[in-house]
Amino acid sequence: MKVKKYRGTPYHLWNPFTPMVEFQSMMDIGPSVIHRGDGPYVYNGKGKRYINGFSCLWNVAVGHGRKELVEAAASQMQELAFASCFRQSHPRAIELAAKLIDITSGNFNRVYLGSNGSEAVETALKMARQYFKQSPDPSDKSRFKIISLKGAYHGVSYGVLSTSGLEADAEKFGPLLPGFLQIPPPYCYRCPYDKAPYPECGLACAHALEKLIIKEGAETIAAFILEPIMGSYGIIDPPDKFYTVVGEICQKHGLLFITDEVTTGFGRTGKLFASQDWEIQPDILCLGKAISSGYVPLSATLATEKIYERFQKEGQQFEHGSTASGHPVCTAVGLRNIDIIIQEKLVDNAANVGLYLRNKLEKLRENHGIIGDIRGRGLMIGLELVKDRASKTPLSSSEVFDHAVDTAISGLLAYSRGSILGLFPPLIIDRAIADEIVGILDKSLNASIPAKMARKARLAKEFVGTRLFK
């Protein structure tokens, strides 16, 4: 296959999760290649401006171009570019760990630092397994199974990938790892149990956890893991009571409760952490993405003192780590980034502007039958698009992608996956930007004949001659 060129440079880059042929046919078009970022906006090579409606990969919480973060990185590189955390430490890693303990619920006391969300969760799973293997109670030693929500996205490495339970993952990479089990997701709009809406449903989705534990034998289960709001699967946002019920079931059967806040952490849902007020606190908390606003790779896995203590006897240390665990530059930037989130009250902003945006979207829904459901919290909002509300027939992923392309033409980058159009804008956006987002969606989701023709014309103008324009 001939190597294409982007502005004269041979394109040898193999992009993640990307259909390369289609992508390369569009490299000079729209937001395919981003050259610059500023606050809530990103710009392509021709200088066209886009609202960064899903914060690049849900991570650029404080927006682009923050001089404080540039300075934190530069001065840390001057002082100490690298030192490892293997039988060593350095001040920024120590300070970041202390800060994370300080700002989380009070339930955690120990912090493992990593480079990305997959590593944070992989760490949690290995920690849970080693924890039980080292139990003084011999009956705990066979606890190795991990239960998750079907369709969960906890990352790409084999352990975390095996949590998804998706046939598509097994088809491509199978066999996935043994010992990974799933319960159906708490997807109220399309209840997997065909129950009446909450509370009449009795939270069958949460009680499914206990049924599975009993079927498998509690003495074989190490942990249950969830995302407070399932992101990739479609912004699946269960009632609060769901977290209490599954937390209680974990406690009752002696398994660890792991919460993956890689996406929801650091203000995204209008709380600093989505799980901070849960009646039953997780034993392990995974953080990533907005921990550094994407400026550098960074993640963290927080554990309780009870877990940590089990790793203290001779020969029982946590056998895990990677070169960049607790990287000085990444921890320096993470520290400064967390300060910005707190000092600039971005969590309150996410709650307030998120509510404003949500209300406007609910109004939009009244006029646009294509919006089947609106879900999420704070600035993590998903619109499930349907052919019509009565049948709830989902739009195909290519139809939703066409809408995302169309909003991009109008200057808004929206996330699309399956029948979901997602909004995860930077936490710094104000009401004016929220209005702009709603205006663009209003235009794109309008199902009237003239609006559809106008949308087709917009797509044709930009994409004619590419594989995308059919």
> Interface residues with ligand PLP (CB under 6 A)?
116-118, 121, 153-155, 227, 231, 260, 262-263, 288
* Cα separation values, 66 from 80, 140, 270, 428, Å: 21, 48, 21, 12
Q: State the minimum distance, in angstroms, from the CB of residue 432 to ligand PLP.
A: 28
Rounded Cα gap, residues 461 and 442, in angstroms: 20
Q: State the minimum distance, in angstroms, from the CB of residue 54 to ligand PLP.
A: 11
Sign of CA dihedral 145, 149, 154, 156: positive
Of 56 and 101, nearer to ligand PLP (C-beta) is 56
Of 278 and 463, nearer to ligand PLP (C-beta) is 278
Whether residue 377 contacts residue 269, with contact meaning beta carbons closer than 8 Å, is answered with: yes
Q: Which two tokens stand for residue 335?
A: 């520290």
Whether residue 317 contacts residue 311, with contact meaning beta carbons closer than 8 Å, is answered with: yes
Cα-based torsion angle of the residue sequence 284, 267, 235, 451 in order, rounded to the nearest 10 degrees = -170
Q: State the minimum distance, in angstroms, from the CB of residue 264 to ligand PLP.
A: 7
Q: Are strands 41-44 and 34-38 parallel, antiparallel or unpaired?
A: antiparallel
Of 157 and 446, nearer to ligand PLP (C-beta) is 157
3-state secondary structure of 180: strand
Q: State the minimum distance, in angstroms, from the CB of residue 421 to ligand PLP.
A: 17
Of 108 and 415, nearer to ligand PLP (C-beta) is 415
Of 26 and 62, nearer to ligand PLP (C-beta) is 62
Distance between alpha carbon 262 and the CA centroid of its chain, in Å? 5
**Token pair 């909003």 in the structure block, residue:** 407
Q: Which two tokens stand for residue 257?
A: 């409760």
Angle between helices 449-463 and 431-445 (to 10 degrees): 100
Of 259 and 407, nearer to ligand PLP (C-beta) is 259
Of 114 and 372, nearer to ligand PLP (C-beta) is 114
For 347, half-sphere exposure in the C-beta direction (CA atoms, 13 angstrom radius) is 16
Q: State the minimum distance, in angstroms, from the CB of residue 59 to ligand PLP.
A: 8
Q: State the minimum distance, in angstroms, from the CB of residue 434 to ligand PLP.
A: 23
Rounded Cα gap, residues 48 and 411, in angstroms: 8
Amino acid at 305: E
Q: State the minimum distance, in angstroms, from the CB of residue 316 to ligand PLP.
A: 27
Which residue lies nearest ligand PLP, judged by its C-beta?
117
Distance between alpha carbon 394 and the CA centroid of its chain, in Å? 22
Backbone angles phi, psi at 279, to 5 degrees: -60, -40
Whether residue 208 contacts residue 216, with contact meaning beta carbons closer than 8 Å, is answered with: no
Of 119 and 384, nearer to ligand PLP (C-beta) is 119
Q: State the minimum distance, in angstroms, from the CB of residue 117 to ligand PLP.
A: 2
Rounded Cα gap, residues 255 and 259, in angstroms: 13
**Token pair 């070169």 in the structure block, residue:** 323
Q: State the minimum distance, in angstroms, from the CB of residue 431 to ligand PLP.
A: 27
Of 406 and 422, nearer to ligand PLP (C-beta) is 422
